[in-house]
Amino acid sequence: MAGSFNKIDYRLRPAKHAERQMFVELIRRLRFTPTDAYKYVGFGSVGFIDFRLFYRALGVTDMVSIEGTDEPEEQARFQRNIPHECVRMEFGMSSAVLPTIDFSTPSIVWLDYDNALRRSMASDLALVAGQAASGTFLAVSVVGALAPNQSIEQRDREVARLKSQFKEFLAPDATHADLIGKKFGEFVRVALGQIVRDAVADADAGLQVPEDARQAYQACYFTYRDGLPMLSLGWLIVAEKDRQAMEDSQLAGLSFHRDGADAYVIDVPIVTPLELREMEKRLPNLEAANDLDWIPLKQREAFARSARYLPHYVSIEPS
C-alpha cells in the first residue's frame, strides 16, 4: 500500500475506530494462545493507530508494519513515528514483503487497503492463508462499492477489469447491475472467501496427519462509510486439532459476529453532544427510552448497536 498516509487522516474516522475496537474484542475471545503471544502484521501508516491499540489492548509485542514507499524522506518520517520499539518497519509493496515474514506462529494479519479490490490483494491474502499457523486471524479491508463517485465510463471500465481479474467469480456478460449495492459486497465476500479457503486447502494437500489440516472460517463482515464506502472481512485459520479452541472462543456471542452474507453495518449516528449524553444515560436499555423520541429513530438505533465501540469526544461549547 503506497502513499495513503498523505491522503487520509486516520484519526478522523469514527467508523474505522469502531471496527478496530471490534477486532480487539474478537481477538480477546480467542482461546488458541494468549493474545500477547500473537504477532501483528499490518499497514501502520504514519500514525500507527492499529499498532498502538493492539499493544495497549492485547499486549502484542511482535509487530511488522508494511509501507510501500521507497522515498528516503518518507521512510525517515515513518521511522521517527514508530510508537514502540517492538514495531519493525518493512518498506516495499505487500506482495514483496509478505513472503519474507514468518507466519509459523499464530498471527493477527490485517491487510487494510484503502482502494478498490484488485487481484493482487487476493494474492496477498492467499499467500498469508497458505502459510498461517492455526489460530491466526486474517482480515482485509477494501473499498466497498463499485467505482463510487465515478462516471459511467469509469464504472464500465471497472466492471471490465473485475471480470478480467476475477473471471471465476463473474460471468462474462456481467454488468454494473450485477455489482451494485449489496451485490458488490457479496461478490467480494464470496470471491475472497473462496480464494482464502482454496489457499489453505492447497497448502495442506497431502498432509500425513489429518488433524493438522486447516480450514478458514469467516468470523466477521463489516460495512461502513467514513467517506468512501468500505467493507472488511475476517477469517480464522484453524487446524482440526484446534477446533475445540475455536468453539471455546464463543465468537457467536459477539453482536457483530458474521459467518455469512449478512454484513454488520457500522453506522455512526449523527447527533449533537446533548443527544449523545442523553442516549448514553439510557444504556443498555435505550430501546425502552420513550422519552427520547425527539432524537430520530435511525440515530438511536445506530447508537444502540455500536455505542461500546464508538470514539469518545470531548467537546467545548460556548455557554
Among left, alpha and beta (phi > 0; psi -120 to 50; other), residue 45 is left
What pTM did the predictor assign? 0.91
Domain termination site, one of 266, 290, 305: 266
Distance between CA atoms of residues 17 and 307, nearest Å: 12
Quote the CA–CA distance of 72 and 253 in Å, as a whole number.
Answer: 47
Name the CA radius of gyration of the chain, rounded. Answer: 20
Whether the pLDDT of residue 101 is over 70: the answer is: yes
pLDDT computed for residue 313 by the predictor: 59
> With 60 as the cut, is the pLDDT of residue 265 above it?
yes
- Whether 295 is covered by a domain: the verdict is yes
On whether residue 162 sits in a domain, the answer given is no
Is residue 11 one of the residues assigned to a domain?
A: yes
Same domain, 53 and 190: yes
Range of the domain at 294: 269-319
Cα 242 to Cα 250: distance, rounded to the nearest angstrom: 14
DSSP character string of 37-65: G-EEEE--TTTTHHHHHHHHHH---EEEE
200 and 315 both lie in a single domain? no
Query: In the predicted model, is pLDDT for residue 317 greater than 90?
Result: no
Q: Are residues 228 and 290 in the same domain?
A: no
Among 85, 129, 107, 130, CA closest to 37: 107
End-of-domain residue from the set 229, 249, 266: 266
CA distance 204 to 207: 6
Compute the average pLDDT of residues 152-159: 92
> Based on the domain organization, do 27 and 84 belong to the same domain?
yes
Same domain, 279 and 255: no
Judgement on whether residues 185 and 317 belong to the same structural domain of the protein = no
Final residue in a domain of this structure, among 228, 244, 266: 266
Same domain, 254 and 297: no
Q: Do 93 and 42 share a domain, yes or no?
A: yes
Angle at 94 between CA 166 and CA 91, to 5 degrees: 160
In a domain, 163, yes or no: no
Q: How many domains does the structure of the chain reveal? A: 2
Based on the fold, state whether residues 107 and 32 are members of the same structural domain.
yes
Contacts of 89 (CB under 8 A, 6+ apart): 65, 67, 75, 78, 79, 82
Question: Does residue 283 sit within a domain?
Answer: yes
Which CATH number characterizes residue 245's domain? Answer: 3.40.50.150
Q: Is residue 225 part of a domain?
A: yes
- Same domain for 105 and 18? yes
Query: Quick check: 316 pLDDT over 70?
Result: no
pLDDT tens sequence across 36-94 = 999 999 998 889 999 999 999 999 999 999 999 999 999 999 999 999 999 999 999 99
Mean pLDDT for 243-272 is 96
Long-range contacts of 33-39 (CB under 8 A, 24+ apart): 33/106, 33/135, 34/59, 35/59, 35/60, 36/60, 36/61, 37/105, 37/106, 38/62, 38/105, 38/106, 38/107, 38/108, 39/63, 39/64, 39/103, 39/105, 39/106, 39/107, 39/108
Domain-embedded: residue 157: no
What is the strand order of the sheet 107-112 is part of?
87-91, 62-67, 39-42, 107-112, 136-143, 229-239, 214-225, 264-266
- Does 281 reside within a domain? yes
Q: Are residues 281 and 261 in the same domain?
A: no
Amino acid 8: pLDDT: 40
140, 279: one domain: no
